[in-house]
Amino acid sequence: MHSFGWWPTLVVLSVATFTDLRSRRIPNWLVFPYWLAGIVVQGVLFGWHGIGQSMAGAGIAIGFFGGLYLLGGMGAGDVKLCAAVGAWIGPAQIIFALIFTALAGGVVVVIWAALGGFLSDLFKGTGDLMAGWGQGKIRDPEATIENPKRRKMPYAPAIAVGTLFSFFVR
């Protein structure tokens, strides 16, 4: 199910990475047509089963990163991009892609914080977030990306690395 999705996914992830690095946003004009095309292509190639697989891939991505969005740790554009990727590559491959994305994101954020000189702030913020969860605070307004004082890391590069890597291990 995933081999024909390589080129459209590569193009969309490249544009998303560029726009996220430049403006810290992933545009809907890029994500929604790609998402819809994934569902349509799956339907044309595999019928109702393909549509179901496409929806399952998108649903898994939303479930995986949607929680981080609800907690304030990730932007909606990142979630929508992952869901659109899931619509193209299906549920089996999106699981690999999300795991690799999380690993790539962890490495990138530590490097980003170290190069930016705020590694201790990163660990303190992570500790505060975990402590807040332990105290029953589901969403601490101070720790969310909506807080203008918080640094915002573009996550599309990690999504791109994780997703593209998933094409080679599956």
Give the tokens for residue 168.
């080679």
39-68: pLDDT as tens digits: 999 999 999 999 999 999 999 999 999 988
139: left (phi over 0), alpha (psi -120 to 50) or beta: beta
Query: By mean pLDDT, which of 11-15, 76-80, 123-127, 128-132 is the weakest?
Result: 128-132
Q: List, in sequence order, the alpha helices (H) in 71-169.
A: 76-116, 119-134, 156-169
3-state secondary structure of 74: coil
Which of 165, 135, 126 is CA-nearest to residue 10? 165
Give the tokens for residue 52.
């179901």
Angle among Cα 21, 27, 32 to the nearest 5 degrees reads 135
- Whether pTM > 0.75 for this model: the answer is yes
- C-alpha Rg value of the chain to the nearest Å: 16
Contact 114, 120 (CB under 8 A): no
pLDDT band, residue 153 (cuts 50/70/90): confident
